[in-house]
Amino acid sequence: MSGPGPAAALARRLLDGDLTAAPAVLNLLETTTPAARAAAAELLGALSPTRLGREAPGQVIGVTGPPGVGKSTLLSELAAGYRARGQSVAILAVDPSSKRSGGSLLGDRARIRHDPADRQVFIRSTAAGERLGGLAPATRAAASVLAVAFDVVVIETVGVGQSETEVAEVADTVAVVVQPGSGDVLQFLKAGIMETPDVLVVTKADLGRVAQRAMADLHAALRSVGATGTQVIAVSSIPPATGIDKLIGALDAHRDSLDLAARRLRARRAHALADFIEEHGAAGLRALGGRRAAEAQLADADAGRDVASLTAELERAAAGARARRP
Ligand SMILES: Nc1nc2c(ncn2[C@@H]2O[C@H](COP(=O)(O)OP(=O)(O)OP(=O)(O)O)[C@@H](O)[C@H]2O)c(=O)[nH]1
Ligand SMILES: [Mg+2]
């Protein structure tokens, strides 16, 4: 064979800031043939912080919230806001299982609007498949590699609770989006079921008093769980859009206050575990002694390890445990 393989070529393009590599990167990461899986692992390895000498510079932002709260409409405005500042944006939207597309849930769901001629914006929708509210495996990988070339990578997921926790494993900054007048996020927050988001966004501020009321309720809920550091931003995403610059400011502020190395390390460990579970299922997890034990093993691994080597370590441990079993 001559010339670099597909992974090496894509890694080079991303390192050179070639944003037009994004579609090919996603195609590779979404392909499940053994050859593509090997190339994907090679791509991740080539762009790992050990090889880069630093963490990927792009900010990975998770935007999550219940169905229909206005996430996609907001992302259209958020992308425009970042573009106005000259920043490039990749958006990875995770669609809920297509099974539900016949129902009313997706009835008036908005598409993320953008200028198709603008090469600095990349948008990809990935089906979550059977994972209810969960992240597709390709999304974790895509977020980490696109952050090498794009200034901002946004992951949109639907749901609250589990999906918010999962997106927090991948993202540097998590924004939970709340619709005025709906109580679920508020209840989760108050009950401490939900990890406190880095930023809370109240959408549809154009609805007026009900939105102000939602702001006050969220502030009260944050106070009750002692999380007064979380910013609550009201936005309206329909013309004339309001609050977008303030939201970008809050996302920036979170990024500036963040221990990026620690957050990314946590993301790589979660990614390795997710890949292991994807491949070996519940039986694999049992062989490791359960999720807690697997997490403990990952926590002991050297911080510089890339995802593939962490996954391989879990696989060796699981194989060893199976071999020892009488
Ligand atoms: N009045 C008003 N309506 C909005 C606003 N933002 C979104 N909407 C409307 O709310 C509905 C849902 O918006 P989407 O952006 O699709 O919501 P979503 O959270 O992405 O929905 P899913 O992807 O299905 O979870 C659409 O009818 C939007 O037009 C807003 O700021 N004000
Ligand atoms: Mg949406």
Q: Delimit the domains of the chain by residue range.
A: 55-258, 259-326
Output the pLDDT for position 225.
87
**Which residue owns the Cα nearest ligand 1 atom 27?**
108
104 C-alpha to center of ligand 2: Å? Answer: 14
Atom of ligand 1 nearest to the CA of 177: 19
Q: What is the pLDDT of residue 103?
A: 40
Which of 25, 64, 319, 59 has its CA nearest to residue 166? Answer: 64
The residue among 32, 64, 203 whose CA lies nearest residue 133 is 64
Residues 6 or more apart whose Cβ sits within 8 Å of residue 137: 274, 275, 278
The structure tokens listed for 283 are 């039986």
Q: What is the pLDDT of residues 39-68, one digit of tens each?
A: 999 999 999 999 999 999 999 999 999 888
Give the nearest ligand 1 atom to 69 CA. Answer: 19
| Contact between residue 77 and residue 244 where contact means Cβ atoms under 8 Å apart | yes
0.85 exceeded by pTM: yes
CA 199 from centroid of its chain's CA atoms: 14
Q: Is the CB of 110 under 6 A from ligand 1?
A: yes
Q: Write down the architecture of domain 55-258 according to CATH.
A: 3-Layer(aba) Sandwich (3.40)
76 lines ligand 1 (CB under 6 A): no
Q: In this structure, are strands 89-95 and 173-178 parallel, antiparallel, or unpaired?
A: unpaired
Q: Give the model's pLDDT for residue 133.
A: 47
Angle between helices 137-146 and 22-30 (to 10 degrees): 150
What is the C-alpha to C-alpha distance for residues 308 and 292, in angstroms, rounded to an integer? 20
CA distances from 291 to 110, 164, 249, 278, 286 (A): 37, 19, 37, 13, 8
Does the C-beta of 113 come closer than 6 Å to ligand 1? no
- The response to whether residue 204 sits with its C-beta less than 6 Å from ligand 1 reads yes
pLDDT at 130: 57
pLDDT digits (tens, 9 = 90+) for 206-245: 998 999 999 999 999 898 888 878 999 999 999 999 999 9
Distances (CA, A) of 152 to 33, 75, 118, 137, 213: 29, 12, 15, 20, 31
Q: Is the peptide bond before 49 cis (omega within 30 degrees of 0)?
A: no
Instruction: Tell me the β-bridge partners of 93.
Output: 125, 156
| 234 touches ligand 1 (CB under 6 Å) | no
241 lines ligand 1 (CB under 6 A): no
Residues of the chain scoring pLDDT < 70? 1-3, 96-109, 128-134, 160-163, 326
The mean predicted confidence, pLDDT, of the chain is 88
Using CB atoms within 10 Å of the CB of residue 152, give its burial: 0 to 12 exposed, 13 to 18 middle, 19+ buried: buried
Contacting residues for 232 by C-beta, under 8 A, at least 6 apart: 199, 200, 201, 202, 215, 218, 219, 222
